[in-house]
């Protein structure tokens, strides 16, 4: 079975080639992202393997169907970038990796909190320049703070456990309340109450029409002054223009993001010698209380291994005509 892998980096190819030995699949790796302009590359293949910033909309799917594609294999959990209804119309199956390493993402969210608070990134740079001053490096105790967790799936639940270890009071919002999370002592509240009461808010929910831009001018107004907001989920959960205004007005005291609404034009690329034309990301970078990482929260050895093995099994099950355990329906 021939598979076209889009948005490939060296580490993707390394892991697929390492674990493909027992699956006998034929991979071709493309650095380019999948969209309606590049979909014709998949002609002659049976499967496309895509990542978070590939744009698999109705037009792209129509081209893929005409090229003979029968399976879209996501090597990620989220599928908001795929038009599922269009795939169904063209009888193309869609599979994903529902869970790879909740610890990886949850730990990265905690790392953003600690780095933003204690300014370890700035201290590191200072010391390298023989500047041992503590001026403007003061932080706050995380112990005893109220942490609002929005989304208590596997990643959100793991994050709750981590923050519980810091001695935080944890409140949460999720449409589907988890008994496991309740047993940790987490109190579920309305979304508005989480916004109002939290000192730190961490986003762990999927991107849906309902959650898009949930962090906006109105929700920011209900939060505490100096709120810390962490997003390791999907960039469009935050209205970027509104968060910039919140930072400028000093309503938002700290912002840590591993995702960005327009990240497909930036993340996973070396643009160090390029002129970045995205004014919003440049504005965010300019704030001293903003920390941005480029969608690396998932990026651990354990997560890469699980993503690869699950994707290989998804494709192999499709090849064998077996039940697709991880099909998006």
Return the ∠ at Cα 311 (arms to 13 and 46), rounded to 5°.
Answer: 85
The length of the chain, given as a count of residues: 329
C-beta neighbour count of 168 within 10 angstroms: 21
Helices 301-320 and 102-118 pack at an angle, to 10 degrees, of 150
Exposed, middle or buried by CB within 10 Å (0-12, 13-18, 19+), for 312?
buried
* In contact, 93 and 114? CB cutoff 8 Å: no
Rounded Cα gap, residues 132 and 195, in angstroms:
37
10 Å CB burial of residue 50 (0-12, 13-18, 19+) is buried
Q: How far apart are CA 300 and CA 303, in angstroms?
A: 5
Q: Which residues belong to the active site?
A: 234, 263, 295
Instruction: Kindly state the DSSP code that residue 238 receives in the 8-state scheme.
Output: B
Closest CA to 203 of 156, 260, 239: 156
In whole angstroms, give the CA distance from residue 195 to residue 201.
8
Q: Is the Cα dihedral 258, 145, 101, 184 positive or negative?
A: negative
- Which residue in the block uniquely carries the two structure tokens 């990265």? 108
Structure tokens at 23: 């699956």
């Amino acid at each position: 079975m021939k598979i076209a892998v889009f948005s490939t980096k060296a580490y993707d190819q390394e892991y697929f080639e390492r674990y493909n030995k027992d699956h006998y699949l034929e991979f071709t790796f493309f650095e380019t992202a999948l969209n309606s302009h590049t979909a014709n590359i998949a002609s002659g293949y049976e499967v496309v393997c895509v990542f978070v910033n590939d744009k698999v909309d109705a037009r792209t799917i129509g081209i893929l169907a005409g090229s003979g594609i029968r399976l879209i294999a996501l090597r990620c959990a989220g599928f908001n970038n795929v038009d599922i209804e269009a795939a169904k119309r063209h009888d193309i199956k869609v599979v994903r990796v529902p869970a790879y390493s909740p610890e990886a993402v949850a730990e990265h969210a905690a790392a953003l909190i600690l780095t933003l608070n204690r300014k370890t990134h700035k201290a590191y740079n200072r010391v390298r320049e023989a500047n041992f001053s503590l001026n403007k490096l003061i932080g706050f105790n995380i112990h005893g703070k109220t942490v609002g967790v929005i989304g208590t799936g596997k990643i959100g639940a793991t994050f709750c456990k981590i923050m519980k270890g810091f001695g935080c009071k944890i409140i949460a919002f999720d449409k589907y309340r988890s008994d496991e999370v309740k047993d940790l002592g987490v109190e579920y509240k309305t979304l508005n109450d989480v916004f109002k009461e939290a000192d730190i808010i961490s986003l762990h929910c999927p991107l849906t029409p309902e959650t898009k831009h949930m962090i906006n001018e109105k929700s920011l107004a209900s939060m505490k002054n100096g709120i810390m907001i962490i997003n390791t989920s999907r960039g469009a959960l935050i209205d970027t223009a509104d968060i910039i205004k919140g930072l400028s007005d000093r309503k938002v005291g700290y912002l840590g993001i591993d995702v960005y609404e327009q990240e497909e034009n930036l993340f996973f690329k070396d643009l160090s010698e390029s002129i970045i034309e995205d004014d919003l990301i440049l504005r965010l970078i300019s704030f001293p209380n903003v920390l941005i990482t480029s969608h690396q929260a998932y990026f651990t050895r354990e997560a890469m291994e699980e993503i690869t093995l699950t994707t290989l099994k998804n494709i192999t099950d499709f090849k064998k005509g077996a039940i697709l355990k991880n099909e998006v329906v």
